[in-house]
Structure 1
């Protein structure tokens, strides 16, 4: 029912002409207070279903909140990949992506007296393309602190491949992601003036957010200002020297200029970044599997695991490769490791696979 879409870092994008100026009232993004504001009717339902029924216990109120968020007789939210909405818009439309779901959860949790905050996973295996634009993604979810315990509420825990654990972020960063997401959507619609207003709002909230600088650079390209775009892409790399979108955009920009030296420099940096990226080796391993090259697949899965041991899909992929190679003992060890780092649901699935191996006497 729920899934995710993350903050977009627009990569390669062709220059286009600007659209006619939009009415002034359309250029104003909602204020931070308006983004997180809870409508009165939603507040009333929340207090009846969560605060009153949960009572004085933080743990019980959290359990009621989770049911309220997920159950069909609660909010009944529906996933929409471009659902970058305010809390009020999410309540009205019952649609959200991962960012909007995080904003909604934080706002409602705080109203219910629960300590809630945003968390970001800066590098995930996620991208998609629309037309001539490639979108790279990161992921956000909600962190909760109850009785000295820290928990996460994530609508995409089974579908996001993360190369690092989530990190707590400020409300300013979370709102910067919201404004940057909206800017990316508007840019895709060629509403450049409105996109610019949202990008400016993102940088006002957090000028240390690399994806916002990268998106501003894409906007400058769309407006025919490549020198300005170059400065913005370089600024993104000052903030995050491994930012995929900025590296790719600069390589493309220099290629378009015919500057082969700088193009080669940034393509080298891209390749070096890939060598430090476990997802690069994960993708290579999956390609090896498709071709039936299980020896190379095992090598690439092991390299991915060396860079990041905490992703159960890496270990499961290694187990598959070992099974095809006839290394059943190693396959069992890889499956046990996959089970150890997976959540409860996936762990049970891996246990079933281990039982199958044992039943076969392997």
Structure 2
């Protein structure tokens, strides 16, 4: 999913996985006396709509929209507009719907759950979707990386719409798929567990991450994060078991492969280290989007020749992604290869039959 230190930044908001740096220490010493582990909320508690929010929804949305499409559009605008909830994006904290309403901010998961809860209040067939991996571009930091991602789906009259509140997602490796409320709750537990882990609350993090994998035994990011927690708790064998469970469900999961190689390096297990290092290299080389990220990194460093090599490899692996051709055209232009640049741009134009429709002034989209 992602490597190096970027993942620590995005693991929380993107329902992703934490890489475990060596030595296994997170932000200094762990808290010696963490807060007691609170009882974990059930799904109905996480998505509960407070009465005051329900009243606002009625007066600002439901009384002014009649068709399902109008209600879907108005709910997004209600969440984002200054005259509505004016929600702000906050990367660091995963909130319930009530907490999102109270704080007027939330991350990817919080925004998605709030939309789904409000859409259901409006009588829409709304649900959470997950994209296995997404390319995320942080403009302020000038970084691009892979992360897990969730958004919302709505079924209206035989059509399926996608409502995505994450502006920074460039592309997803697979189309988003509808998931059950139980799996969405597993995402929520995983995110909150990662946040507790970052804050040094090992008991709280353990409770949440174990609940996540108990709900969804094949939820790989939570198994990976549980491995990180166990290693930091001085349980290397238990950490190894968690990583191996993750890889049973998804052998090509890069964060887990990276963490497992780090563990074997710490333990001095040379044979296992070499084995999983080979796997990690093979996965990275065969993934077009990871090659695209590597190309972007080299381009950012001014290494245009190496950047072009990675972009062209990405094109060779997946020749129907217009962004790959746009990146290649950009490098060809820098290198003075104007004919190649024009051919790449023409190919990008031919592939970019984008049917996205902007549904609000803020630029968030609904896809059919």
TM-score interval, normalised by the smaller of the two chains = 0.7 to 0.9
Q: Is the CA contact 1:83–1:95 (under 8 Å) kept in the aligned structure 2?
A: no
1:96 to 83, 95, 106: 106
3-state SS, counterpart of residue 223 of structure 2: helix
Partner of 2:348: 338
Partner of 2:13: 5
Q: What's the offset of the Cα at 1:250?
A: 1.1
Partner of 2:57: 46
Alignment CA distance shift 1:235-1:164 (3 Å): same
3-state SS, counterpart of residue 320 of structure 1: helix
Partner of 2:362: none
Partner of 2:73: 63
Q: Is the CA contact 2:19–2:259 (under 8 Å) kept in the aligned structure 1?
A: yes
Name whichever structure is richer in helix by fraction.
1
Is 1:33 aligned to 2:44, yes or no?
Answer: yes
2:97 to 87, 99, 122: 87
TM-score by length of 1: 0.84
| Distance across 2 between alignment mates of 1:192 and 1:329 | 57
Alignment CA distance shift 1:185-1:342 (3 Å): farther
Q: Is the CA contact 1:322–1:330 (under 8 Å) kept in the aligned structure 2?
A: yes
Q: What's the offset of the Cα at 1:299?
A: 3.2
2:88 to 78, 83, 103: 78
Q: What's the offset of the Cα at 1:213?
A: 1.0
Q: What's the offset of the Cα at 1:308?
A: 3.5
Alignment CA distance shift 1:198-1:63 (3 Å): same
Alignment CA distance shift 1:254-1:237 (3 Å): same
Partner of 1:355: none
Q: Is the CA contact 1:311–1:342 (under 8 Å) kept in the aligned structure 2?
A: no
TM alignment of 1:1-362, pairs within 5 A = 5-13=13-21, 14-15=23-24, 19-20=31-32, 22=34, 24=36, 26-55=37-66, 57-126=67-136, 137-290=147-300, 294-309=304-319, 311-339=321-349, 340-341=351-352, 343=354
CA deviations over 1:108-167 (Å, ceiling 9, x no partner): 111111111111121223599xxxxxx973111111222222221112245444223222
| Distance across 1 between alignment mates of 2:34 and 2:301 | 51
3-state SS, counterpart of residue 219 of structure 1: helix
Of 288-297 and 150-159, deviating more is 288-297
| Distance across 1 between alignment mates of 2:291 and 2:117 | 38
Q: Is the CA contact 1:250–1:266 (under 8 Å) kept in the aligned structure 2?
A: yes
CA deviations over 1:154-190 (Å, ceiling 9, x no partner): 1224544422322222222211111001000100111
3-state SS, counterpart of residue 119 of structure 1: strand
- In the TM superposition, structure 1's runs of 4+ consecutive aligned residues that sit over 6 Å from their partners are 344-347
| Structure 2 unaligned regions, length at least 5 | 1-9, 139-144, 359-368
Alignment CA distance shift 1:38-1:290 (3 Å): closer
Q: Is the CA contact 1:217–1:230 (under 8 Å) kept in the aligned structure 2?
A: yes
CA deviations over 1:189-216 (Å, ceiling 9, x no partner): 1100111111122123211101111111
| Structure 1 unaligned regions, length at least 5 | 129-134, 348-362
Q: What's the offset of the Cα at 1:310?
A: 5.2
Q: Is the CA contact 2:14–2:108 (under 8 Å) kept in the aligned structure 1?
A: yes
3-state SS, counterpart of residue 252 of structure 2: coil
CA deviations over 1:250-303 (Å, ceiling 9, x no partner): 111111111111111111111011012223322332344356554543332122
Alignment CA distance shift 1:337-1:187 (3 Å): same
Q: What's the offset of the Cα at 1:318?
A: 1.0
Alignment CA distance shift 1:82-1:291 (3 Å): closer
Superposed CA RMSD in Å reads 2.7
